[in-house]
Structure 1
């Protein structure tokens, strides 16, 4: 009987060790898969924390200056923004698309927002738009052309005299299919964007 118990304990010990090795192998496989996807650029990083705290601080400071007169009328919930970086003019410095999604900045026609330079200066303030914004591969004045949605229609915006038009709804209607090679920015409803306060 003692031999049977010892054999049974031995089998259980071996099985237990085998399960530990399998767990280690599973963990090792997951880590290797994640690393290879990250290096290959195919990992889903949408839940990753924002990588540029300096950009958040820069945008936060600029919004407090730009909206100084509005601040007393705004609630805590009104004082929030989303942002996404994109190099609009191929100068190796990202510009910042800043958008809002609350009742202070949004109405029946859409929401307002900003496009800021890398140093925080304003390229554009825009109104009555829905997100996302599409960055085209064509350009004007060395800045990519944009497509904004407003009132259920797409509108084509080109840089002119250093600015994009501020009211997309009165610009040329873009009647074609959005090109596959265009890039969506501020796709607030599609992605898990972090909301920042200012």
Structure 2
């Protein structure tokens, strides 16, 4: 009888130890998860090893850049071969167009940078030069596409779609008088937003 009582206490002791270990394990996991969530929300989590966003748009843009820049590629360094992009539906057809920008010496000079606007299928709408980022999308439109405001040489210029193209050199377009309104949307805000950088 005594042996049975001792055995019962031993079994109860083992079960309580196992439960304690499980609870401690759950508690540690919960603490790590809560810490990661709070750091992510605060923007202090280390996400340097996190995989970058790699979607169909990125692959489409990569493919098109390799075609558009075919003659340039041999002269470009590895550091030159990256881009930023932002999607925006410029003509309200429920399909995004893509603004592509660069921020390295191959594409940028004292006058500004080169960039592209692509259709949703990857075809070229425009190549533009001598511009600073961001680009502003206004609420007005021409030829069913929103008008754009580019900054170049410290001045804002209004760029309107005409015959399926935006003018490629914003600096020779109409100077925008006054402030850029709050209703405009910034795209390719390379300094203000943390935009993902992609290689091509």
Q: Which residue of 2 aligns with 1:155?
A: 157
* 1:129 to 2:131 alignment: yes
Q: Which runs of 4+ in 1 moved over 6 A?
A: 47-50
Q: Which residue of 1 aligns with 2:185?
A: 183
Separation in 2, partners of 1:171, 1:49: 41
User: Residue 69 of structure 1: CA displacement?
Assistant: 0.3
Q: Which residue of 2 aligns with 1:62?
A: 64
Q: Which residue of 2 aligns with 1:76?
A: 78
* 1:115 to 2:117 alignment: yes
CA 1:101/1:174 → structure 2, altered by over 3 Å: closer, same or farther? same
Gaps of at least 5 residues in structure 2 are: 1-23, 42-46
> Which of 112, 121, 145 lines up with 1:143 in the alignment?
145
SS at match of 1:77: helix
Question: How many correspondences in the alignment?
Answer: 166
User: Residue 52 of structure 1: CA displacement?
Assistant: 5.9
Gaps of at least 5 residues in structure 1 are: 1-16, 35-46
Q: Which residue of 1 aligns with 2:92?
A: 90
Separation in 1, partners of 2:51, 2:142: 33
- TM-score, structure 2 as length reference: 0.76
SS at match of 2:77: coil
Separation in 1, partners of 2:58, 2:175: 33
User: Residue 175 of structure 1: CA displacement?
Assistant: 1.3
Q: Which residue of 2 aligns with 1:11?
A: none
CA RMSD of aligned residues (A): 2.7
CA 1:142/1:53 → structure 2, altered by over 3 Å: closer, same or farther? same
Once the two structures are superposed, what CA deviation does each residue of 1:98-153 show, in whole Å capped at 9, x if it has no partner?
A: 00000000000000000000000000000000000000000001100000000000
Task: Select the structure of larger CA radius of gyration.
Answer: 2
Separation in 2, partners of 1:141, 1:50: 36
Separation in 1, partners of 2:113, 2:83: 12
- TM-score, structure 1 as length reference: 0.76
Separation in 2, partners of 1:135, 1:169: 17
CA 1:157/1:121 → structure 2, altered by over 3 Å: closer, same or farther? same
